[in-house]
Amino acid sequence: MKIYRTVDYQEMSRMAASILAAQIQQKPDCVLGLATGSTPIGMYDELVRQYQDGTLDFSLVKSVNLDEYKGLTREDEQSYSYFMNQHLFGRVNIHPENTYLPDGTQTDAGAECTRYEEVISRLGGVDLQVLGIGRNGHIGFNEPADSFARATHCVELTPSTIDANKRFFEKEEDVPRQAYTMGIGTIMRARRILLLASGADKAEALRGALYGPVTPRLPASILQFHPDVTVIADEAAFSAVR
């Protein structure tokens, strides 16, 4: 595991963007695993800047997102599909047909999860997976549990996650209670993983993930078993590591 400690969010974002940019330059038709949430926004802004400068070309890039709220359409402003269009897809030359997310409108959870796993396999797997981390140590929407979920599945969101994500919604009742997410097995099959964390509210989760026991009670801790993980986090996120 390579661990980088940055001064602040901006430096974390720039460093993360440079890793994605290098991946795209080395393999222009790579498969990126992408994440939502506030953490990767600065990284996406930096990638857009490089695209606008003419130094980055997304024309062959393919992407698969980690997760999506169940019950929201792609056009819903709170959906992760909408988020990705706003922050990245709509601002660079990636082909929309090369971008994949779970379909939140599918009510047959089993069929949708199988379809999404097949999409990832058909693309040849993920070259570089970007991850944020939840305050409770979740990755994607893999919440603390008694065991690690292997494949894409439908989850019930925990009160902690609903509480953390309500800031994006008008009221807490509007936060969907379920989501589709890649499983821990899906994430662990990515060839490389980039974990980002910013802010003191992630400090305990990050410490546990990097230095605590590997346990499904703190899903990000499984990353200790992945052979190629890069962690970039700012000082505030490292504040619990002494």
Size of residue set near ligand GLP by CB under 6 A? 14
CB of 114 to ligand GLP, least distance (A): 21
Among the candidate windows 31-39, 92-100, 121-129, 170-178, which touches ligand GLP by CB under 6 A? 31-39
* Interatomic CA distance for residues 135 and 162, integer angstroms: 11
- For residue 78, what are its two tokens? 């709170």
Considering only CA atoms, give the Rg of the chain.
17
In the numeric block, the tokens 């797997």 are attached to 125
CB of 35 to ligand GLP, least distance (A): 5
Instruction: Pick from 12, 24, 43, 66 the residue near ligand GLP by CB under 6 A.
Output: 66
132 binds ligand GLP (CB under 6 A): yes
| Active-site residue set | 67, 136, 138, 143
- Contact set for ligand GLP, span 171-190 (CB under 6 A): none
* Interatomic CA distance for residues 89 and 44, integer angstroms: 10
Q: Check if the beta carbon of residue 176 is closer than 8 Å to that of residue 192.
A: no
* Interatomic CA distance for residues 105 and 102, integer angstroms: 9
Instruction: Pick from 33, 134, 137, 219 the residue near ligand GLP by CB under 6 A.
Output: 134
35 binds ligand GLP (CB under 6 A): yes
| Closest-approach residue to ligand GLP (CB) | 132
Contacts of 115 (CB under 8 A, 6+ apart): 103, 106
Among the candidate windows 95-103, 129-137, 203-211, 220-228, which touches ligand GLP by CB under 6 A? 129-137
39 binds ligand GLP (CB under 6 A): yes
Q: Check if the beta carbon of residue 66 is closer than 8 Å to that of residue 35.
A: yes
Among the candidate windows 34-42, 49-57, 113-121, 185-193, which touches ligand GLP by CB under 6 A? 34-42
83 binds ligand GLP (CB under 6 A): no
- Outline where DSSP puts E strands in the chain: 2-6, 31-34, 62-65, 67-69, 99-100, 128-131, 153-156, 178-181, 192-197, 229-234
The count of C-alpha atoms lying within 13 angstroms of the C-alpha of 145, restricted to the half-sphere facing its C-beta, is 17
61 vs 219, which CB is nearer to ligand GLP? 219
Which of 62, 46, 51 is closest to 92 using CA atoms?
A: 51
106 vs 161, which CB is nearer to ligand GLP? 161
58 vs 83, which CB is nearer to ligand GLP? 83
Which residue type, as a one-letter code, is found at position 105?
T
- Contact set for ligand GLP, span 136-165 (CB under 6 A): 140-141, 161, 165
Which residues are near ligand GLP by CB under 6 A?
35-39, 66-67, 132-134, 140-141, 161, 165
